Amino acid sequence: MARQGTLQVAVVGTGKMGADHVRRVQEVISGARVTAVVDVDAERAKDVAARIDGCTAYSDPAAAMAAADVDAVLIASPGPAHEAALLTAFEHDLPVLCEKPLTPDAASALRVLEAEQKLGRRRVQVGFMRRYDAEYMKLKSLLNTGQLGRPLMLHNRHRNLASPPGWRSEMLINDSVVHEMDVTRWLLGQEITAVTVLRPTPSANAPEGVQDPQFVVFETDGGTIVDVEIFVNCGFGYQVQAEVVCERGTARIGDGHAMVTNMAGRWGGTIIQDYIERFADAYDREVQAWVDATRRGEVVGPSVWDGYAVAAVCEAGVRALEEGGRVAVELVERPALYDISRSPG
Ligand code: ISE
């Protein structure tokens, strides 16, 4: 660590999310600075590094992780590159914040789980950032008080303005519903045991061949039924909403009514268009929590176990989408290292 204990961070991947994290570490949060950026696109890495004092550009994550001025790694490259980057970080014993998904499938997530266990202690915080959103945090606190009684059902709506070019049907599960998988496990403190995906007639606005929207149903080991409407070409904005129905009441978040106007015989407000804006505070809180914990020598937040469990649910979800019917989720037994990983935060 640099003098005054400033954490020196390598950011791996400088696409939309990685570039936003570089800005966040440099300009928003405290206690860290970016000393290395890595991208397979060497020119893009150089462009980003050139704007930061004392930052080196790399195209190979292993080279950045071997550098003397790197204390910690923030992985924001595409999912298929995560396993190799995580295993290299373990070799250098570096703390990691890894964007979701941990890895793209359960087998590779299990390899990461086994490798972290060999280290004998947690090294990774997984980027399930809904846990750091103020509204989700309030909902979690309320459920924890027990005032509403036992949760019976959880309804989620997850809408994006438009899908990026090249999106395929399974990406609605792997890239978007992945968040509701983590939210379900975290909010309810239950594991997801089975997934069913219903397929409405696709919207005329969905790209050719893409099943959008989808209606996804989870069953949990606590007997709660969870539904997720995922609609990534809704055309009007970005919305993430959740409502928990409990024995003694309900609680709902995500209506986004920050300001309501009354004018010329109409009332209304605006709808945010993008997740970077909707969840800006959550990302800031998440990265700050990682930096603070790392500087204390601790690891907090969603664990590799959470990443593995969600990868297994994603796999079941994609099978349910492609084959129809209800697909059971298979999990290995949770290792002792992750006993506290399902606690809040
Ligand atoms: C994106 O990758 C995210 O993580 C957003 O939170 C999610 O809402 C969106 O659907 C994903 O594509």
Could you please report the per-residue DSSP string of 266-292? Answer: EEE------HHHHTHHHHHHHHHHHHH
Looking at the CA of residue 171, tell me the nearest atom of ligand 1. Answer: 12
- Pocket lining for ligand 1, CB < 6 angstroms: 160, 175-176, 179, 275
Among 133, 170, 176, residue to substitute to test ligand 1 (most atoms within 8 Å of Cβ): 176
Domain identity same for 174 and 89: no
Kindly tell me if the per-residue pLDDT of 320 is higher than 50: yes
pLDDT over 70 (residue 344): no
176/297 same-domain check: no
Same domain, 226 and 273: yes
Distance from the alpha carbon of residue 104 to the mean position of ligand 1, in angstroms: 15
What percent of the chain shows pLDDT beyond 90? 96
Q: What is the pLDDT of residue 129?
A: 98
Residue 238 half-sphere exposure toward CB, CA atoms < 13 A: 10
Which of 160, 178, 238, 286, when mutated, tests ligand 1's pocket best, judged by the most ligand atoms within 8 Å of its CB? 160
Question: 275 CA distance to ligand 1 centroid (A)?
Answer: 7
pLDDT of residue 4: 67
Q: Over 70: is that where the pLDDT of 345 sits?
A: no
Cα(176) to ligand 1 centroid in Å equals 5
Q: Over the stretch 70-88, which tens digit does the pLDDT of each residue have? A: 999 999 999 999 999 999 9
Task: Provide the token pair at 142.
Answer: 């309320």
Mean of pLDDT values over 245-249: 98
Residue whose pair of structure tokens reads 């709660």 in the numeric block: 224
Domain that holds residue 70: 7-130+281-302
Q: Is the pLDDT of residue 308 over 80?
A: yes
CA-nearest of 307, 277, 278 to 96 is 307
Same domain, 180 and 110: no
Q: What is the pLDDT of residue 342?
A: 45
Same domain, 319 and 186: yes
CA atoms within 13 A on the CB side of 58: 20
22 and 81 belong to one structural domain:
yes
Residues 70 and 103 in one domain: yes
- Owner of token pair 């996804």: 216
> Could you tell me if residue 58 is inside a domain?
yes
Closest protein CA for atom 10 of ligand 1: 176
Where does the pLDDT of residue 272 fall: very low under 50, low under 70, confident under 90, or very high at 90 and above?
A: very high
Whether 335 is covered by a domain: the verdict is no
Judge if 269 and 182 occupy the same domain. yes
- Is there a domain that residue 337 lies in? no
Chain segment 158-211, per-residue pLDDT in tens: 999 999 999 999 999 999 999 999 999 999 999 999 999 999 999 999 999 999
Q: What is the pLDDT, as a whole number, of residue 343?
A: 45
Region of poorest pLDDT, from 34-48, 88-102, 239-253, 328-342: 328-342
Query: Residue for token digits 């809180």?
Result: 285
The ligand 1 atom nearest the CA atom of 279: 6
**Residue 258 reports pLDDT greater than 80:** no
21 and 143 inside one domain? no
313/206 same-domain check: yes
Q: What is the mean pLDDT of residues 296-316?
A: 98
- What the block records as the tokens of 118 is 């060999």
d(Cα 57, Cα 337) in Å, to the nearest integer?
A: 35
Q: Which protein residue has the closest C-alpha to ligand 1 atom 9? A: 176
**Residue nearest atom 8 of ligand 1, based on CA coordinates:** 176
pLDDT at 108: 98
Co-location of 199 and 219 in the same domain: yes
Residue 324 and residue 175 share a domain: yes
Digit-coded pLDDT (tens) for 25-73: 999 999 999 999 999 999 999 999 999 999 999 999 999 999 999 999 9
Give me ligand 1 centre to Cα 146, in Å: 30
Rounded Cα gap, residues 292 and 31, in angstroms:
7
CA of 262 relative to ligand 1 center, distance in Å: 32
In a domain, 344, yes or no: no
Indicate which CATH number applies to the domain containing 106.
3.40.50.720
Count: domains in the chain: 2
User: How far away, in angstroms, is 179 Cα from ligand 1 center?
Assistant: 8
State the Cα–Cα distance between residues 258 and 161, nearest whole angstrom.
Answer: 19
Residue 14 falls within a domain, yes or no? yes
Residue to probe by mutation, ligand 1, list 275, 279, 281, most atoms within 8 Å of CB: 275
The answer to whether position 343 is within a domain reads no
Q: What is the CATH number of the domain that holds 204?
A: 3.30.360.10
Longest dimension (CA), the chain: 65
Closest-lying ligand 1 atom to the alpha carbon of residue 160: 10
Distance 175 CA to ligand 1 centre (A): 6
Establish if 342 belongs to a structural domain. Answer: no
- Examine residue 190 and state whether it is found in any structural domain, yes or no: yes
